[in-house]
Chain A
């Protein structure tokens, strides 16, 4: 039996917080590398998944920071191949979700994550406003946020012709409820 984790203090390591808040014990990882071996984006990452876990395992502030500032955590697609194959049943994809949130909270997100973040924010803006995703709105918002104004300009007309781009959003009835959900969760995180 592992001893019950103490409630983590603000200055505590990410590993301690993961254990307390998400029930993930990183000491289970024995650094076999199977997660990295199967990761579809491993070769594009600055830290492979097992390196990320290793950095977190040491519970040292400077190493935690290397994780929070890395690009790798933004490249993880959450495909769960790592968690599925991990012999020690470490939920690696959940760890990635957790450290991304921590990175945002401390404003340490990697510069090259800007576009990825812009996309996710634009996506959530769209559903906050209407309740359902409005794809034209998403793309327009993303382009403004990311300044990639000319990206995929050829694709939109093709999609429109094929009836894949409705020009008007769907508005759900429970929009006030949706706003409340965003207020109580994402809050002022932007």
Chain B
């Protein structure tokens, strides 16, 4: 099985382990990732703040590159990239005049014949395979944290339920974990304010970490690099704000599943986390 692959910028840098774990898992599941040729940045959370045409043109270039390479489906593990690509595709599909304008800007045609999928959607296709591949069950209580970008806007993404989504919980249950009911599955972590308004990120991410811990989670599972870095790298600020010493690790779904499938921790990039992601064996 083959699928287009758009890693996005963070997966080359601050979230390398997401890329590493996606690739490791894909290999283990027999999924071939075909990288979009000469891909560029999607504009993430910055372009749309300054210029709406730029915010469409940047993802449109990626769609055009993928189409030119004959890809019909792109896996975008980064939730921000997934969201920007899917939103741009939807906007251009609904507004042909705008689509012509953007085609002129990027100097390439965009037909919209590429579907954008996130990592949970792709893993769900292996739901019948995964249970048989679990070597070391991820026997921990987990809080599955989806964030905003995977589920909203629901009308565009049409993925899972906009409030209280379930797909990640199902995957983690298949990996042997015990997904906890908790309250902030789709609350915003503060996203792009990580550098500029660290105070707000600490407050918003703090609520999320505290609620996960309150509901007995031993790990927070994510599928978004921004969520991961805010909850992981900003942990000192979070703990300072909460006056707590939360040590709950934040793992990508691909890392947690990889571990359960017996893939080596370093191959999954677990050593790269700020909050140590060494999962002590659960008491049986």
A and B touching (Cβ–Cβ under 8 A): yes
- B41 contacts the other chain (Cβ, under 8 Å)? yes
User: Interface code B30-41, partner A: CB below 8 Å = 1, 0 otherwise?
Assistant: 000000001111
Q: What chain A residues lie within 8 Å of B198 (beta carbons)?
A: 151-152
B12 A166 Cβ-Cβ under 8 A: yes
Interface residues of B in 28-72 (CB under 8 A from A): 38-41, 43-55, 57-58, 61
Q: What chain A residues lie within 8 Å of B48 (beta carbons)?
A: 78, 97
A133 B272 Cβ-Cβ under 8 A: no
B193 A170 Cβ-Cβ under 8 A: no
- A7 contacts the other chain (Cβ, under 8 Å)? no
A124 B46 Cβ-Cβ under 8 A: yes
Chain B's nearest CB lies how many Å from the CB of A115? 5
Chain A's nearest CB lies how many Å from the CB of B25? 19
The secondary-structure label for the interface of chain A is helix
Contact of A101 among B40, B46, B52 (CB under 8 A): B52
How many residue pairs at the A-B interface have CB separations less than 8 Å?
Answer: 159
Which interface class (under 10, 10 to 19, 20 to 34, 35 or more) fits B?
Answer: 35 or more
* Chain B residues proximal to chain A, CB less than 8 Å: 9-10, 12-16, 38-41, 43-55, 57-58, 61, 104-107, 148, 152-154, 162-163, 186-188, 190-193, 195-198, 200, 204, 233, 271-274
Q: Which residue of B lies closest to A40 (CB)?
A: B188
Contact of B106 among A165, A166, A181 (CB under 8 A): A181
Q: Which residue of A lies closest to B53 (CB)?
A: A185
Among A9-17, A50-58, A79-87, the one that faces the other chain is A79-87
The secondary-structure label for the interface of chain B is helix
A79 B188 Cβ-Cβ under 8 A: yes
A163 B272 Cβ-Cβ under 8 A: yes
B274 A185 Cβ-Cβ under 8 A: no
- A139 contacts the other chain (Cβ, under 8 Å)? yes
Chain A's nearest CB lies how many Å from the CB of B227? 11
B50 A186 Cβ-Cβ under 8 A: yes
User: Interface code A86-100, partner B: CB below 8 Å = 1, 0 otherwise?
Assistant: 000001010001101
